Structure 1
Amino acid sequence: MSNISSNSSKPSTRKPVVLMSMGAQERAGHEYQVMTKKYMRPLVEHAGCVPVLAPTCFGIDDLKLYLSMVDGVYLTGAGSNIDPSLYGQENLTPEKTQDQDRDHFDLPLIHAALAMGLPLFGICRGMQEFNVALGGDMHQKLYTIPGMREHREDYSASVAQQYADVHQVRMVPDTWFAKLMQQEEIPVNSLHGQGIKTLGKGLQALAHAEDGLIEAVHLPEQQQFTLGVQWHPEWQAAQNPFSIRMFQAFGDACRQTVAQKLNR
């Protein structure tokens, strides 16, 4: 089924509410739960949704309560890697930060959101969580695999340089995502050292990098909007027509969810 929502839905009387799970960060000896503004801005400005931030440090007892209050789920990137034990591997990057509270919140969150028919959009770590939740696994060190390009950012460069477009992704032809992007290839940024190795159950690729790495996925058998992308469309989204289309499509799907709830 197409993941692009129909325009036939009745107008809703409220903005969609979207759940965003937060991440752990330590500052000056204090433990924080955080969310970066750059992820929230396009959700508000282009998707037309209201973000609700869920702390991941208190477990999943209230997960269904959170989901009962929202019309979509948006899983963002983060500086941490997913615990490799969750996909049956030893940790090959012990120097990298982990956030096991987020892992143990987001993976059940994905299953619950899918079961409830909620639209789901994942970026970078969020796409990787999507894959791991459905039984897929990861390349932990893309940069050591022959034939793979360097997908990591240059930490010595400015933020603008780190988020600059550095390679193309090619759409899988004749998919809803290719139609949404309106062209066969689009330029993207690249700020990740890990990537999908084996797709999770039911996931299909929507786009690939020039080296063959899977860069976008969806669940075609699910009726609701599902999309995960490996790059960062949230970065200066207002200046990127492809990013705007993605966030608008997600927002439209969430508005459709609102309309369905109001029509019950």
Structure 2
Amino acid sequence: MSNNSSTTPNTLRKPVVLMSMGTQERKGHAYQVMTHKYIAPLVEFSACVPLLAPTCFGTDDLEQYLDMVDGVYLTGAGSNIDPALYNQENLTPDKAQDRDRDLFDLPLIRAAIARGLPIFGICRGMQEINVALGGDIHQKLYAVGGFDDHREDSNDPVAVQYGESHNVRLVPGSWLADLLAKDEITINSLHGQGIATLGEGLEALAYAEDGLIEAIHAPALAQFTLAVQWHPEWQTSENPDSVKIFQAFGTACRQRVAQTAANPR
């Protein structure tokens, strides 16, 4: 008798998680790239299999990608989201943009939400989720009165850039506060932009000392949704809070695998 009819959670396959790549030019050649530091904790702590999707060919195959995955992981990048996508003029023309990624990820987010897929975003990924749901961002957070400068010093060694920068206050009683079992954590900070107006259905889970939103979720959605402005992918193994976040995402993706196995199409 085939074992397919008696599948148990212990025999389920590892979850597959979509990661959208970004554009990068090298010596006259166009590359699609994803940084190792983002992939490593997904494999090592979420225990998931990454599926890297190029964003330079449009969205014709988007639904087919989503047919293959159990979660979506939106990473940071060196580029900013095109402000035209949230109805603003570009105030940072000197900063790199990646419109191919913008035009892939925004519909990806909406389609993943419609399918009930777990979603986890980091830095640019958090801003993408917000914009996809109708929110906007401060393009020059450091120039907005009342906010601190959250940028790193590019002249510092990488380890210093990603070192601890400031504290964030977790919303009391929230699931993130319960997950981390504390009211405040210390994070790194490497961003010049930040959320201004929250998108539809999004709520803050954490705030910086200056009041900036540092983590969000979508409480009305049944699936796991979490996005953070900081970088938990940096040396994850050395930060118990980061480990818990990646493990929680992995758990959500495994639950999705189990649901799919129990209710095949």
SS of the aligned residue for 1:53 comes to strand
Three-state SS of the structure 2 residue aligned to 1:26 is: strand
Look up the equivalent residue of 2:232 and give its one-letter code. Answer: P
2:238 is aligned to 239
Match in the other structure for 1:3: none
- Residue of structure 1 equivalent to 2:22: 23
Are the equivalent residues in 2 in contact too, given 1:12–1:255 (CA < 8 A)?
no
The size of the alignment, in residue pairs, is 256
Name the amino acid aligned to 1:218.
Answer: H
Alpha-carbon distance, 1:190 to partner: 0.2
Q: Secondary structure at the match of 1:164?
A: coil
SS at match of 1:112: helix
Structure 1 segments of 4+ aligned residues over 4 angstroms from their partners: none
**For residues 118 and 97 of structure 1, do their structure 2 counterparts lie closer, same or farther at Cα, with a shift above 3 Å needed?**
same
Output the amino acid matched with 1:72: G
Query: In the aligned structure 1, how far is the partner of 2:65 from the partner of 2:201?
Result: 25
Matches within 5 A, 1:1-264: 10-264=9-263
| 1:84 aligned partner, one-letter code | P
How far apart, in 1, do the equivalents of 2:52 and 2:40 lie? 13
- Contact 1:191/1:231 (CA < 8 Å) preserved in 2? yes
8 Å contact kept, 1:12–1:259: no
Change (3 A) 1:152 1:12: farther
Determine which structure has greater relative contact order: mean sequence separation of CA pairs < 8 Å that are 6+ residues apart, divided by chain length: 1
SS at match of 1:138: strand
Displacement after TM superposition at 1:10 (Å): 3.5
SS in structure 2 at match of 1:95? coil
The amino acid of 2:31's aligned partner reads Y
TM-score by length of 2: 0.96
Contact persistence 1:138–1:197 (CA under 8 A): yes
* Residue 212 of structure 1: how far off its partner (Å): 0.1
CA distance in 2, matches of 1:97, 1:197: 21
Computing the radius of gyration from Cα coordinates, the structure with the larger value is: 2
Structure 1 residue 165: deviation in Å? 0.7
- How far apart in 1 are the matches of 2:13 and 2:199? 35
3-state SS of 1:82 partner: coil
How many Å separate the matches in 2 of 1:262 and 1:191?
40
How far apart are the structure 1 equivalents of 2:142 and 2:225?
Answer: 28
Percent sequence identity over aligned pairs: 69
Distance 2:82 2:11 in 1: 40
Indicate the RMSD between aligned Cα atoms, in angstroms. 0.8
Report the AA paired with residue 195 of structure 1.
G
TM-score by length of 1: 0.96
Equivalent residue of 2:40, what SS?
A: helix
What one-letter code is carried by the residue in structure 2 that aligns with 1:244?
Answer: V
Structure 1 residue identity aligned to 2:217: H
Q: CA deviation at 1:147?
A: 1.9
Q: How many angstroms apart in 1 are the aligned matches of 2:75 and 2:202?
A: 18
User: What secondary structure is seen at the aligned counterpart in 2 of 1:44?
Assistant: helix
Paired with 2:9 and 2:218, the residues of 1 have a C-alpha distance of: 26
SS of the counterpart of 1:70?
Answer: coil
What is the CA-CA distance between 1:12 and the residue it aligns to?
4.7
- The question of whether the paired residues in 2 share the 8 Å contact of 1:12 and 1:262 is answered with no
Segments of 5+ residues of structure 1 without an aligned counterpart are 1-8
Deviations 1:67-92 (A, max 9, x none): 00000000000000000000010000
Deviation readout 1:36-85 (Å, 9 max, x if unpaired): 00000000000000000000000000000000000000000000000000
Please, which runs of 5 or more residues in structure 2 have no aligned partner?
1-7
Structure 1 residues 235 and 148: CA distance shift in structure 2, 3 A: same
Secondary structure at 1:107 match in 2: helix
Secondary structure of the structure 2 residue equivalent to 1:74 = strand
